[in-house]
Amino acid sequence: MADKEAGGSDTGPRETAPTSAYSSPARSLGDTGITPLSPSHIVNDADPNVSEQQTFLVVVAIDFGTTSSGYAYSFTKEPECIHVMRRWEGGDPGVSNQKTPTTILLTPERKFHSFGYAARDFYHDLDPTEAKQWLYLEKFKMKLHTTGDLTMDTDLTAANGKKVKALEIFAYALQYFKEQALKELSDQAGSEFENSDVRWVITVPAIWKQPAKQFMRQAAYQAGLASPENSEQLIIALEPEAASIYCRKLRLHQMIELSGKAAVNGYSASDTVGAGFAQAKEHVRRNRQSRTFLVENVIGEIWSELEEGDKYVVVDSGGGTVDLTVHQIRLPEGHLKELYKATGGPYGSLGVDYEFEKLLCKIFGEDFIEQFKIKRPAAWVDLMIAFESRKRAAAPDRTNPLNITLPFSFIDYYKKFRGHSVEHALRKSNVDFVKWSSQGMLRMSPDAMNALFKPTIDSIIEHLRDLFQKPEVCTVKFLFLVGGFAEAPLLQQAVHAAFGDKCRIIIPQDVGLTILKGAVLFGLDPAVIKVRRSPLTYGVGVLNRYVEGKHPPEKLLVKDGTRWCTDVFDKFISADQSVALGELVKRSYTPAKPSQLVIVINIYSSEQDTVSFITDPGVKKCGTLRLDLTGTSGTAVPARREIQTLMQFGDTEIKATAIDIATSKSVKVGIDFLNY
């Protein structure tokens, strides 16, 4: 094993990685004694157009959503045909079931039982006492966004209050999609379809941090979609990027325009919100029998109006998050360049559900709602399903009330809990816009329903306003509104009212499937996005020669007569820096002793772009770079080994490779944002 790792210690100075003839010590505060052998420079010697050697017969994209999920695929021989998965059994009245709810059910022994509608229906039919033993999970994807210190051991809580490992749940869900997709492909091909023939694409929000992306990859490995040895088989796609790729292909009849510029498809702007959308949905529904979408090899009409350098915003509003990405067109190939780092936040349609829950707490008491969720978990799920379908009926011009059926066990349990009726609670609550109807329903006025949407929609609009203040964004030509929540007429109207005079607002017709179809296109050609922006500043801690007057005295360390400055932040890349696909950041490191077999280097990040030291405010340790030198050395180990590391920041995930300069052998590199 390694005698010593080139990484810090908390015990004071020690020998560690030399940079030149001097040996450079680490310091108690500083975590690493590495000094860069090579200056900071970015090289672009990788040709981004060289495709991987590996060939796949089919690309399958999984849109793993907060509220609903699905998959679609395309055979690499006929990339213009995108097939959306088979119809799901089950489904809700009034809700298009092209995707299935992201719900999962485990048996009392914690084994996978079912997913989607099947999980929901089975759970719903269980006897209430039995239901308490089963583990039912829904909307669990948000946990990856909201957990600051995500690890492989992060837990999720099932409806009955029991804890379960998040990694297991994500792996079960992905395994379910893998089996469904392979079965469908085998049925189509008439012979067994092998997993090795498939390139998998999984979509994640662009605002997710590196640990969440790595977590998704780990779950996919556990589910058997790909393996660390064959990591190229799995691509992580960013949701708004996928939407952007699909929107380039749109023909006029495949979208609805919400701006007052001119009538599109015979709808004027005022018809379009709501009415035009209903007609478009009807058109989509009629065409749904065929689940194959033809993506023409030409650029859509909207695109043909765009010129070199034109900019547009993709607003991806889903169940959990809203994700904003700004792209610019690069002609002649129509490649895309990200102009401003992805922004957004937890402002998805789930926010409307939380507001409804808050309203119920106000009427019936928080203590009751908490108890009801634990004691009657299946009935709580029922109530939220009833709310979901009414939520979708909310519209700006609606005048008649919306009725939400309360499950019998809610009414019954409330009476036992409080000693008086639900009706009594409503009268007493002073919530005047929610009434009790004699059929056993909550009657909500349209204003009451609209009020539940308001906080989430306000957050989205405010976020967009901030974005439009940025100099890179103010001259945007189009705004594409995509994602499941984009179907909400209230959101469409708010976006139109706020930005209709600034740019043209476009909604793809089949808006809930936009990301799924775009993810397939991305899997077929991952090099379509040529330039991305780094969301954070990344670097490592190093030792530099001490410069009097420039470096703070408390960072001075003298070793063998040489004066060192500790904790220097060696920057790889700055926040919001533009990075081209295939562009590499090159660094060289050397082990503390020739016999050392492992170098572990801590990676730090910051939201600021100017960072001097790893001890600066806002600088956080976020991961490790591990160089494994076993098996690289020849018979004669040189006195000083130089390991050249190449890091790639222009992709959807940060990647690294390394070479032992003396032997030209590649070194095993692990870059880890989860287990450090």
State the pLDDT at residue 7. Answer: 36
In 3D space, the residue among 599, 629, 563 whose CA is nearest the CA of residue 16 turns out to be 599
Strand extents, DSSP E, 425-493 = 434-437, 441-444, 478-482
Phi, psi dihedral angles at 404 (to 5 degrees): -120, 120
Residues of the chain with pLDDT under 70: 1-54, 87-97, 251-253, 259-304, 331-334, 592, 631-639
In 3D space, the residue among 51, 85, 174 whose CA is nearest the CA of residue 524 turns out to be 51
Which one-letter amino acid corresponds to residue 676? Y
Please list, in sequence order, all residues whose beta carbon lies within 8 angstroms of the beta carbon of residue 192, skipping any fewer than 6 positions away: 186
Asked if 277 contacts 258 with a C-beta cutoff of 8 angstroms, the reply is no
Asked if 642 contacts 590 with a C-beta cutoff of 8 angstroms, the reply is yes
State the pLDDT at residue 619. Answer: 95
What residue ranges define each of the domains in the chain, with the CATH number in brackets?
58-239 (3.30.420.40), 536-670 (2.60.34.10)
DSSP letters, 510-572, are: TGGGHHHHHHHHHHH-GGGEEEEE-SSEEEEEEEEE--TTTS-GGGEEEETTEEEEEEEEEEE
Calpha distance 496→490 (Å, rounded): 10
State the pLDDT at residue 13. Answer: 33
Asked if 307 contacts 252 with a C-beta cutoff of 8 angstroms, the reply is no
> Which residue in the block uniquely carries the two structure tokens 């397939």?
520
| Element containing residue 425 per DSSP (H, E) | helix 422-428
**Which contacts (CB < 8 Å, 24+ apart) does range 42-46 have?**
42/583, 42/584, 42/585, 42/586, 43/583, 43/584, 43/586, 44/580, 44/582, 44/583, 44/584, 45/584, 46/582, 46/583, 46/584, 46/648
Calpha distance 175→189 (Å, rounded): 21
| Element containing residue 580 per DSSP (H, E) | strand 578-580
Calpha distance 100→121 (Å, rounded): 12
State the pLDDT at residue 148. Answer: 80
Asked if 210 contacts 443 with a C-beta cutoff of 8 angstroms, the reply is no
Q: Which two tokens stand for residue 270?
A: 């005022």
SS3 content of the chain, % helix, strand, coil (to 5): 30, 30, 40
The 3 state secondary structure assigned to 275-294 is HHHHHHHHHHHHHCCCCEEE
594 upstream amide cis, omega within 30 of 0: no
Q: Which two tokens stand for residue 330?
A: 């690069």
> Which residue in the block uniquely carries the two structure tokens 């940079």?
19
Please tell me what DSSP assigns to residue 252: G
**Would you call 444 helix, strand, or coil by DSSP?**
strand
237 has which bridge partners? 203
559 has which bridge partners? 562
Please list, in sequence order, all residues whose beta carbon lies within 8 angstroms of the beta carbon of residue 354, skipping any fewer than 6 positions away: none
Pairing mode of beta strands 537-545, 562-573: antiparallel
Please list, in sequence order, all residues whose beta carbon lies within 8 angstroms of the beta carbon of residue 342, skipping any fewer than 6 positions away: 206, 207, 238, 240, 323, 324, 325, 533, 535
Integer CA distances (angstroms), 300 to 99, 250, 251, 330, 438, in order: 26, 5, 5, 15, 53
pLDDT digits (tens, 9 = 90+) for 13-43: 333 333 333 333 333 233 334 444 444 444 4
Please tell me what DSSP assigns to residue 607: S
Calpha distance 412→414 (Å, rounded): 5
pTM above 0.75, yes or no: yes
Strand extents, DSSP E, 591-638 = 598-606, 620-628
State the pLDDT at residue 637. Answer: 59
Please list, in sequence order, all residues whose beta carbon lies within 8 angstroms of the beta carbon of residue 153, skipping any fewer than 6 positions away: 165, 167
State the pLDDT at residue 236. Answer: 94
State the pLDDT at residue 519. Answer: 94
Calpha distance 199→201 (Å, rounded): 7
The 3 state secondary structure assigned to 373-391 is HHHCHHHHHHHHHHHHHHH
State the pLDDT at residue 544. Answer: 84
State the pLDDT at residue 19. Answer: 36
Calpha distance 61→63 (Å, rounded): 6
Pairing mode of beta strands 81-84, 292-294: antiparallel
Pairing mode of beta strands 58-63, 198-204: parallel
In 3D space, the residue among 310, 307, 367, 319 whose CA is nearest the CA of residue 337 turns out to be 310
Asked if 466 contacts 472 with a C-beta cutoff of 8 angstroms, the reply is no
Please list, in sequence order, all residues whose beta carbon lies within 8 angstroms of the beta carbon of residue 412, skipping any fewer than 6 positions away: none
Please tell me what DSSP assigns to residue 264: B
Which one-letter amino acid corresponds to residue 316? D
